Structure 1
Amino acid sequence: MNPVVIALCVGMLTVAALLALLRVAKGPTMLDRVIALDVIVAIVVIGLCVEAAANRHATTLPVIVVLALVGFVGSVSVARYASKESAAERGRR
Structure 2
Amino acid sequence: MTAVWIVAAVMITTAAAITMFRLLAGPNTLDRLVAVDTLIAVTMCGIGIWAAYSLDSTVTYGLTALALISFVGSVSVARFRVPDVDKPRGARRSR
Cα RMSD after superposing both structures: 1.8
What's the TM-score once normalised by structure 1's chain length? 0.84
What's the TM-score once normalised by structure 2's chain length? 0.82
Q: Which runs of 4+ in 1 moved over 6 A?
A: none
Identical residues among aligned pairs (%): 36
What's the counterpart of residue 51 of structure 2?
52
The CA distance in 1 between the partners of 2:69 and 2:34, in whole Å, is 14
What's the counterpart of residue 65 of structure 1?
64
The CA distance in 2 between the partners of 1:63 and 1:14, in whole Å, is 19
Higher helix share: 1
What's the counterpart of residue 90 of structure 2?
none
Counterpart code for 2:42: I
The CA distance in 1 between the partners of 2:34 and 2:80, in whole Å, is 14
How many corresponding residue pairs? 87
Tell which has more relative contact order, 1 or 2 (C-alpha 8 A, sep 6+): 1
What's the counterpart of residue 6 of structure 2?
7
Unaligned runs of 5+ in 2: 88-92
Residue 63 (structure 1) shift: 0.6
